């Protein structure tokens, strides 16, 4: 299982595969399970269906590691127009993005300028912008970036990964700025000296971090969110929330589009908040390979599409 995961994560970073695989029609067909389409209209239409059943969404346009800083302006303008559209159509949809989509690998100052524009527009229109967490070469820089933007704007959240050895220290550091955090397990191929590899230990760490986040939220009222499809872990978080007298109706889970839809509805029925993260965009290859790596059984699903029209 670990070999397959590592192989798929290696594929996600391979430049030749990055150009060849997206052209394969059976891969494109299988992709439908994880994203409603490549265009913003696809993501908005899917969001409306979720909103109708009490599940708001978070949208992210796929793309990472820009080659040229001028591309960052296009990405910024795109997100500004999406935020405007969400407000015009009065939809409960938030935004999540990767800093490298805004040029973080090329210029931190320019990235700050662009992100601030997006966060400012979102603030004016009562919306929230989340920052995804990328590979470990960006972890500390992203935390520093978040602390800087959080000092200026309150409507921003950051993703934290429980597989990192540094995650407890990172959380303590972040708690100083009363952060909004989305906790996930982590999706990248990290070396042994940086990240836990054993699922049991990643889950255990997740629950410890979740407990700390719930305690912090009880004290400061900030938004703490749990991004996972792991139903056992979700049960354990619910129990912790009960023990800590976490306010009813405030416990929030975020889950990926296409994964465990019945569990999403059940959580809403129980009175919890669920947001579904919907991805769209043309640069889906690395992101898609990371989804396959999370559950190698998905490969069988992709292969089945070779034989369907």
Ligand X SMILES: Cc1cc2nc3c(=O)[nH]c(=O)nc-3n(C[C@H](O)[C@H](O)[C@H](O)COP(=O)(O)OP(=O)(O)OC[C@H]3O[C@@H](n4cnc5c(N)ncnc54)[C@H](O)[C@@H]3O)c2cc1C
- Residues with catalytic annotation? 132, 182
Give the β-pairing of 224-227 and 93-97. unpaired
Stretch that binds ligand X, among 11-19, 109-117, 137-145, 222-230 (CB under 6 A): 222-230
Stretch that binds ligand X, among 42-50, 142-150, 207-215, 293-301 (CB under 6 A): 293-301
Size of the site for ligand X (CB under 6 A): 22
Q: Is 27 helix (H, G, I), strand (E, B) or coil?
A: helix
Establish if 57 lies at the interface with ligand X (CB under 6 A): no
What is the x/- site pattern for ligand X, positions 184-203, by CB under 6 A?
A: xxxxx---------------
- Identify which of residues 150 and 291 has a Cβ nearer to ligand X in the complex: 291
- Identify which of residues 54 and 84 has a Cβ nearer to ligand X in the complex: 54
CB 123 within 8 A of CB 153: yes
Stretch that binds ligand X, among 62-70, 115-123, 166-174, 294-302 (CB under 6 A): 294-302
Q: How far apart are CA 123 and CA 62, in angstroms?
A: 23
Best CA proximity match to 256, nearest among 2, 4, 33:
33
Q: How far apart are CA 239 and CA 172, in angstroms?
A: 23
The correct pick among 229, 238, 268, 283 for binding ligand X (CB under 6 A) is: 229
Q: How far apart are CA 157 and CA 146, in angstroms?
A: 8
- Nearest-approach distance from CB 183 to ligand X, in angstroms: 9
The correct pick among 47, 254, 264, 279 for binding ligand X (CB under 6 A) is: 254
Sign of CA dihedral 303, 304, 306, 309: negative
Establish if 159 lies at the interface with ligand X (CB under 6 A): yes
The correct pick among 255, 267, 278, 289 for binding ligand X (CB under 6 A) is: 255
- Nearest-approach distance from CB 277 to ligand X, in angstroms: 4
Q: How far apart are CA 208 and CA 172, in angstroms?
A: 13
Q: According to DSSP H, which parts of 100-186 are helical?
A: 108-124, 139-152, 167-175
CB 290 within 8 A of CB 187: yes
The correct pick among 105, 228, 279, 305 for binding ligand X (CB under 6 A) is: 228
Q: How far apart are CA 192 and CA 178, in angstroms?
A: 30
The correct pick among 12, 105, 111, 161 for binding ligand X (CB under 6 A) is: 161
Q: How far apart are CA 87 and CA 60, in angstroms?
A: 16
What is the x/- site pattern for ligand X, positions 9-38, by CB under 6 A?
A: ------------------------------
- Identify which of residues 86 and 133 has a Cβ nearer to ligand X in the complex: 133
- Identify which of residues 38 and 132 has a Cβ nearer to ligand X in the complex: 132
> Nearest 5 degrees, angle CA 131-CA 162-CA 299?
85
CA 267 and chain centroid, separation: 19
Contact residues for ligand X, defined by CB under 6 A: 132-133, 159, 161, 184-188, 227-230, 254-256, 259, 277, 291, 294-295, 298
């Amino acid at each position: 299982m670990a070999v397959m995961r590592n192989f798929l994560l290696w594929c996600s970073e391979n430049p030749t595969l990055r150009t060849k695989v997206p052209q394969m029609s059976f891969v494109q067909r299988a992709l439908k399970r994880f994203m409603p389409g490549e265009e913003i209209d696809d993501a908005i239409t899917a969001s409306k269906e979720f909103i109708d059943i009490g599940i708001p969404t978070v949208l992210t346009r796929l793309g990472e590691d820009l080659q040229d800083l001028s591309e960052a302006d296009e990405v910024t303008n795109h997100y500004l127009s999406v935020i405007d559209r969400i407000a015009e159509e009065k939809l409960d949809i938030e935004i999540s993005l990767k800093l490298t989509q805004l040029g973080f690998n090329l210029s931190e100052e320019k990235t700050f300028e662009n992100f601030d524009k997006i966060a400012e527009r979102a603030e004016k229109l009562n919306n929230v912008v989340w920052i995804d967490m990328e590979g470990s070469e960006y972890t500390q820089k992203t935390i520093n970036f978040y602390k800087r933007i959080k000092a200026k704007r309150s409507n921003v959240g950051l993703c934290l990964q429980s597989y990192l050895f540094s995650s407890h220290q990172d959380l303590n550091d972040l708690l100083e700025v009363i952060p909004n955090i989305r906790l996930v397990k982590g999706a990248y191929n990290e070396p042994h000296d940086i990240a836990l590899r054993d699922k049991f230990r990643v889950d255990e760490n997740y629950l410890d971090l979740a407990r700390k986040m719930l305690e912090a939220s009880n004290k400061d009222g900030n938004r703490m969110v749990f991004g996972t499809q792991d139903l056992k872990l979700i049960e354990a978080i619910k129990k912790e929330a009960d023990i800590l007298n976490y306010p009813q109706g405030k416990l929030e889970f975020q889950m990926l589009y296409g994964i465990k839809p019945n569990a999403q509805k059940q959580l809403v029925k129980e009175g919890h908040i669920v947001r579904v993260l919907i991805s769209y965009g043309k640069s889906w290859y690395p992101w898609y390979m990371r989804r396959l790596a999370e559950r190698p059984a998905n490969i069988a699903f992709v292969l089945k599409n070779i034989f369907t029209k």
